[in-house]
Structure 1
Amino acid sequence: MRVLIAGGGTGGHLFPGMAVAQALQSLREVEVRFVGTDRGIEAKAVPAAGWRLYKLSVSGLYQVGPVKKLLGLLRLPVALGQAVGILWSFRPQVVIGVGGYASGPMLLAALALGFRTVIQEQNAYPGMTNRVLGRRVPLSFVPFAGLEGLFKNPVVVGNPIRQEILQAAATPFQRSETPFTLALVGGSQGARAVNRAMVEALPLLKDAGLRVLHQTGKADFEEIKQAYQVAGVTQAELLPFVTDMAGWYQRADLVVGRAGSMVAELCAMGRASILVPFPNSSGDHQKKNAQALVAAGAAVMIEQSELTGPKLAQEILTLVQDQQRRLSMEQAAKSLYSGDAALEMAKKILEFYRL
């Protein structure tokens, strides 16, 4: 059996796709290949995980300036031609779109040529590709109820989570007395606003005895590294990108980050969090994700417009000092975990298409 998974750009799109690939391969003898671009996280992450990656010459059309939008439109016919070539050469039984630049051309080509198609949506409000194609693709998987009008046949399963994180989640949390471990995860590309706030917060956190794990993103790495040195914060591990996210979650007492598909991982792991939603996310879905955790008592939310170093430091120190509240947040997060969505999705695909 052959399966093609299209999309990426960020970990929020790619990692659920990788989770579904793992689940399918746990059920059947399946050859999985991915389609992405040479600029997204998939360019390194997919080959490193042992899967083949096709690359399309495609760029974004949404939330970009007029020049970039024009370039994106000019590239679209080329990307569609590449997509057709991939389909005819690989001949997959199923094409799964997970969002991101490459997802649109691959799903369009697959629909036009009569290939079986599936959409996996990670957010409370779909991105442009899934909004446009959701009513044409026969089977879609969504994280929440209430998206029925946007998809032809939506199945609510939650968000797929990679096996290594599920395995880590099954291991009891070994809470150490010292040092308290804070993990900052700004998404696969980093988060400049969160990085800058943390730099401002460092002098206020210096004497708290924290160990800090900080994923900075490639662009900010050197600047952030220097800021930690200047602030005299020595118990810090800084990386442009974390490959062992499960290991970081296992070590973290508190996580600070965006509110994309990472919220599903936080729930699976049962971790207290401070969430800073990306304000330009499609349909403001990150704020909706964060609000769901806040309403359950699993997280604290700081809107980016209100994010400052002192504000971030205050929220961190409050939770460092209140272990009972953190324990309550951990339990609330765990209660939101809905089970192995990737495995449920894989089984449903095989059943729906009788494969």
Structure 2
Amino acid sequence: MNIMISGGGTGGHIYPAITIYKTLQTMVDANFLYVGTDKGLESRIVPKEGIPFTTLPVQGLQRSFSLDTFITAGKTISSLWKANGLISKFKPDIVIGTGGYVCGPLLMAAALRGIPTLIQEQNVVPGITNKILSRFVDVVAVGYEEAVRAFPKAKQVVYTGNPVRPAVVAADRDKARQFFGIQEHQTAILVAGGSRGARSINTAMAAVHEAFKGRTDVKIIHATGTDEYGRVCDSLGMQEGATYSEASHIVPYLDNMDMAMAASDVAIFRSGAIGLAELAVRGIPSILIPYPYAAADHQTYNAKAFVSAGAADMILDSELNGATLLTALTSLLETAERRKLMAEATLGLGKPKAAEDIAKLALSITKS
């Protein structure tokens, strides 16, 4: 069997594709080919995973009419032509896309040739590429139940949840808390805004670190993002690599996010779909601050789904500051029963077998 997978641009598209790939590897003997772009994050991430990788010349659509509009149109036509060539050469039994502009020409070419196709949409509000492709592909797997109605023209829509890395599901809580030096009586708070960081969250967190400086019942694990770490250290008056206080563990990046999640009791997060899926399988109640410039404001809709379920509180980025964050966090820490109910609600949103379900769904539509 030959399986093509595509997803690019952001980690929110790439990591689900890699998780689906790894799950399929355990279920079927197949040849794989990952199709991305040469400029996207996938060009660095995917080869490191040992996945055969090739590229298509495609770029995002421009919102305003300009010379780039013609360049984009030309690259799209070229990508369709090259996608047909890749398909003819690789002869896939199925093509799977997880979002990003690179999926467009590949999935479209495959669907028009009658090759089984599946797209996986992570967010409540779908991206433009998946919205268009949904009219042509065989099945759409959605991460949120609310997203089903966003694909009225699709042949088939299945609510599977979002694929989560097995390491996140399997991480041992006791070992993780020991690794981070978290005592049994301490409430662990995980703060992260993505690999590059979220400036508004980091700025607001300065007041939290200051307020919790003398507390022994709390441990904060704060990943600032690599681009933000120096600025955060300066704002707190600490040297890079130093310890701010016993209550605060501040680092630029967490290579072991799976362990950090396993160790934590509360999270302060953006509301990207995959981050939320990981919080859900671990049952971690959260304070969500949606990234305000996400396409179609999809992070706000993701966060609202968690708030509606009783799994999270939300602070809009425009309303975020040290005082609002400190008030929300203090309130959550002071009400253990509410945290328990939020944790149960969060766990109820979790889909630990989503990757397996998506893989099975993909295999079910193949002709092999």
TM-based fold match above 0.5: yes
Residues 147 and 154 of structure 1 are in contact (CA less than 8 Å); yes or no, is this contact kept in structure 2? no
Distance in 1 between the 2:45 and 2:91 partners?
A: 23
Residues 181 and 251 of structure 1 are in contact (CA less than 8 Å); yes or no, is this contact kept in structure 2? yes
Alignment TM-score, normalising by the size of structure 1: 0.87
Residue 155 of structure 2 corresponds to 152
Residues 159 and 342 of structure 1 are in contact (CA less than 8 Å); yes or no, is this contact kept in structure 2? yes
Residue 182 of structure 1 corresponds to 189
Aligned-pair CA distance for 1:136: 0.8
Residue 267 of structure 1 corresponds to 280
Distance in 2 between the 1:226 and 1:140 partners?
A: 46
Match of 1:219 among 222, 227, 238: 227
Q: Does 1:233 align with 2:240?
A: no
Of stretches 266-275 and 319-328 in structure 1, the one that deviates more from structure 2 is 319-328
Aligned-pair CA distance for 1:28: 0.9
Residue 88 of structure 2 corresponds to 88
After superposition, where does 1:1-355 map in structure 2 within 5 Å?
A: 1-61=1-61, 66=66, 69=69, 71-143=71-143, 144=145, 145-168=148-171, 176-177=183-184, 179-199=186-206, 201-209=208-216, 210-230=218-238, 233-234=244-245, 235-240=248-253, 242-261=254-273, 262-355=275-368
Aligned-pair CA distance for 1:219: 3.1
Secondary structure in 2 aligned to 1:345?
A: helix
Over 3 Å counting, the alpha-carbon distance change for 1:281 and 1:69 in structure 2 is farther
Distance in 2 between the 1:109 and 1:328 partners?
A: 47
**TM-superposition CA deviations, 1:258-277 (whole Å, max 9, x none):** 11212121111110111111
Over 3 Å counting, the alpha-carbon distance change for 1:5 and 1:200 in structure 2 is farther
Over 3 Å counting, the alpha-carbon distance change for 1:219 and 1:90 in structure 2 is farther
Over 3 Å counting, the alpha-carbon distance change for 1:222 and 1:25 in structure 2 is same
- For 1:165, the aligned partner's letter is V
Distance in 2 between the 1:100 and 1:260 partners?
A: 15
Residues 163 and 352 of structure 2 are in contact (CA less than 8 Å); yes or no, is this contact kept in structure 1? no
Secondary structure in 2 aligned to 1:256?
A: strand
Aligned-pair CA distance for 1:108: 2.4
Distance in 2 between the 1:225 and 1:75 partners?
A: 43
Residues 204 and 310 of structure 1 are in contact (CA less than 8 Å); yes or no, is this contact kept in structure 2? no
Residues 6 and 97 of structure 1 are in contact (CA less than 8 Å); yes or no, is this contact kept in structure 2? yes
Secondary structure in 1 aligned to 2:40?
A: coil
- Kindly name which structure, 1 or 2, has the bigger radius of gyration based on alpha carbons: 2
- For 2:230, the aligned partner's letter is E
Over 3 Å counting, the alpha-carbon distance change for 1:39 and 1:254 in structure 2 is farther
- For 2:190, the aligned partner's letter is A
- For 2:307, the aligned partner's letter is V
Over 3 Å counting, the alpha-carbon distance change for 1:100 and 1:215 in structure 2 is farther
Distance in 2 between the 1:63 and 1:266 partners?
A: 33
Over 3 Å counting, the alpha-carbon distance change for 1:238 and 1:80 in structure 2 is farther
C-alpha RMSD over aligned residues: 2.9
Residues 57 and 78 of structure 1 are in contact (CA less than 8 Å); yes or no, is this contact kept in structure 2? yes
Over 3 Å counting, the alpha-carbon distance change for 1:202 and 1:339 in structure 2 is closer
Residues 80 and 106 of structure 2 are in contact (CA less than 8 Å); yes or no, is this contact kept in structure 1? yes
**TM-superposition CA deviations, 1:29-49 (whole Å, max 9, x none):** 123332223443323332232
Distance in 2 between the 1:53 and 1:126 partners?
A: 26
Over 3 Å counting, the alpha-carbon distance change for 1:176 and 1:272 in structure 2 is farther
Over 3 Å counting, the alpha-carbon distance change for 1:59 and 1:325 in structure 2 is same
Over 3 Å counting, the alpha-carbon distance change for 1:308 and 1:273 in structure 2 is same
Aligned-pair CA distance for 1:317: 2.6
Alignment TM-score, normalising by the size of structure 2: 0.85
Distance in 2 between the 1:269 and 1:111 partners?
A: 36
Secondary structure in 2 aligned to 1:206?
A: coil
Residues 62 and 68 of structure 2 are in contact (CA less than 8 Å); yes or no, is this contact kept in structure 1? no
- Point out where structure 2 has 5 or more consecutive residues left out of the alignment: none
- For 1:191, the aligned partner's letter is A
Aligned-pair CA distance for 1:7: 1.2
Residues 168 and 269 of structure 1 are in contact (CA less than 8 Å); yes or no, is this contact kept in structure 2? no
Q: Quick one: percent identity of the two aligned structures?
A: 34
Distance in 2 between the 1:255 and 1:244 partners?
A: 15
